[in-house]
Structure 1
Amino acid sequence: MARILVVDDEPLISAMTEDWLSELGHSVVGPAHNLAAALKLAEMDLDAAIVDLALGKDKSYPLADALIARRIPFALTTGYGPDGIEPKYRAHSTLGKPFEFATFRRVIDELLASGGTREARGGPP
């Protein structure tokens, strides 16, 4: 069971994401609905993260940087398309809103395959 951080300022989307992660057998960390809360939760032991690009007035790039520094794979969710993402972050997985379960599952599987586990990165299992 992977521990996956959920960050989205839309309660319905974060609830759907939580439900889908639970259905896939994963543990949800969060959700965080703003950047400050997300940065705090990003300090926990995580296997991956699903991160909304736009959090109210903030962009989630500081969170992305924190996840990159910790080698935690993540996917950015956005309704803006690839051109709405700063070039530095375009190589990371993205989920275009609205996203479907099959696409979501594929992205989660790819994140977990690419990032290994907390144990492999030196964290607790």
Structure 2
Amino acid sequence: MPENPRASGSRRRVLLVEDEAMIAMLVEDMLDDLGHELVTVASRLDEALAAAKTGAIDVAILDLSLGGVLTYPVADVLAQRGIPFVFATGYGSSGLKEAYADRPALQKPFVQQALGDAIALACGT
């Protein structure tokens, strides 16, 4: 079970890249329950790229596909900045390009425990 961020002081600032409003609201509630802070929700690739380039974030959750547009360019920016990230996709890790196969992936739909575990894994805790 992941540590409680509120108790351990490991509250993380999260970028969420997600184009479905209901899913974004659900993930926001999960993050809050886990003790993390959602700082930005990006529903389009240009918004996600801007947030990834300049945002004050500790970790990102990336929907692999925003209306059919893959979010690998966002992952590239985050990797260059040294910011950990998790992919969220209906295909799980088997749907990722080989270059990203070592990154944590959440298979949609996912539960809060899985989200917490994936964030902990991505952040190395």
**TM class, shorter-chain normalised?**
0.7 to 0.9
User: How far is 1:34 from its partner?
Assistant: 1.1
The counterpart of 2:29, out of the listed 4, 14, 19, is 19
1:10, 1:33 within 8 Å by CA — same for their partners in 2? yes
Percent identity between matched residues is 39
The answer to whether the 8 Å contact 1:29/1:41 transfers is no
Which residues of structure 2 form unaligned runs of 5+?
1-10
The one of 84, 93, 103 equivalent to 1:92 is 103
User: What SS does the corresponding residue of 1:45 show, helix, strand or coil?
Assistant: coil
Shift of 1:88: 0.5
Distance in structure 2 (CA, Å) of the matches to 1:97 and 1:8: 12
Correspondence 1:64 to 2:103: no
The structure richer in helix per residue is 2
Q: Deviations over 1:43-101 (max 9, x none)?
A: 21111000000011310000000000001000000002333211101110100001111
Residue aligning to 2:51: 41
Task: Name the CA distance, whole Å, in 1 between partners of 2:68 and 2:91.
Answer: 15
TM-score by length of 1: 0.85
TM-score normalised by the chain length of structure 2: 0.85
- CA shift, 1:38, in A, is 0.6
1:80 equivalenced with 2:91 (yes/no): yes
Partners in 2 of 1:26 and 1:82 — Cα distance? Answer: 24
- SS of match in other structure, 1:99: coil
Counterparts of 2:34 and 2:92, CA distance in 1: 26
How many positions carry a matched residue from both structures? 114
